[in-house]
C-alpha cells in the first residue's frame, strides 16, 4: 500500500509539472514590458491588419515610474500605465504633440491611440506584445525593438 501511495504521489507531481510547463507559452510579467515596442498590427479580432512599417509607430515602457512614451507615426506622445501580473493593463490620458501629417499616417496614428485607450490586458507571446480590450479582442500587436 505504501508503494501504491508513493506511485500515485509521483504520478500527481509529474502531472502537475507537465501542466505548469505547458503554461509557459505566454506571459504577463509587467517587468517584461520594459523597453521599446514597434507596432506590428492593429484592429479587432476579425479585422487585424498589418501596420505600415514606413510609419514609425512605437511605445517605450519605463517600469521605474510607470510611464510610457513613443511615436504615433506623426506625433510624439506620453502617458502613464498600470500593469499587473494577472495581465491587466490600462493607460492614463495620452498627451501628445498636435502636428498634421499624411492621411495614411494620421489614420494609423489615431487607430493606435484608440487601441491604447481601449486596452484592458496584455500578453507576451514570444517577441510579440498582444494588447486586448475588455472583450479579449486583440486591438494591437507590437514587436520588441
Task: Write out the residue range of the structural domain in which residue 134 sits.
Answer: 27-144
Is 103's pLDDT higher than 90?
yes
Is residue 114 situated within a structural domain? yes
Is residue 109 situated within a structural domain? yes
Is residue 64 situated within a structural domain? yes
Catalogue the E-assigned strands of the chain: 26-27, 35-42, 49-50, 58-62, 67-71, 76-83, 89-91, 95-96, 121-125, 128-132, 138-144
Is residue 19 situated within a structural domain? no
- What average pLDDT is seen over the chain? 87
Residue 32: exposure state from Cβ atoms within 10 A (0-12, 13-18, ≥19) = middle
pLDDT at 47: 83
Instruction: Express as a percent the part of the chain with pLDDT over 70.
Output: 81
pTM exceeding 0.85 = no
Residue bearing the bigger pLDDT, 21 or 106:
106
Provide the number of structural domains found in the chain.
Answer: 1
What 3-state class would DSSP assign to 52? Answer: coil
Is residue 11 situated within a structural domain? no
Q: Domain of 118: which CATH number?
A: 2.40.128.270
Half-sphere exposure of 96 (CA within 13 A, CB side): 21
CA-based nearest residue to 96, from 116, 113, 121:
113
Confidence of residue 3 (pLDDT cuts 50, 70, 90): low
Is residue 97 situated within a structural domain? yes
Is residue 60 situated within a structural domain? yes
Amino acid at each position: 500500500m505504501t508503494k501504491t501511495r508513493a506511485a500515485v504521489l509521483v504520478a500527481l507531481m509529474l502531472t502537475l509539472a507537465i501542466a505548469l510547463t505547458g503554461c509557459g507559452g505566454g506571459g504577463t510579467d509587467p517587468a517584461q514590458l520594459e523597453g521599446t515596442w514597434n507596432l506590428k498590427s492593429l484592429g479587432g479580432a476579425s479585422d487585424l491588419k498589418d501596420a505600415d512599417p514606413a510609419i514609425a509607430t512605437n511605445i517605450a515602457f519605463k517600469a521605474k515610474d510607470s510611464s510610457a512614451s513613443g511615436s504615433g507615426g506623426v506625433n510624439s506622445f506620453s502617458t502613464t500605465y498600470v500593469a499587473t501580473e494577472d495581465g491587466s493593463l490600462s493607460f492614463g490620458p495620452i498627451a501628445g504633440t498636435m502636428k498634421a501629417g499624411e492621411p495614411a499616417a494620421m489614420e494609423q496614428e489615431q487607430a493606435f491611440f484608440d487601441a491604447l485607450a481601449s486596452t484592458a490586458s496584455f500578453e507576451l507571446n514570444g517577441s510579440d506584445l498582444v494588447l486586448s480590450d475588455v472583450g479579449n479582442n486583440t486591438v494591437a500587436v507590437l514587436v520588441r525593438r
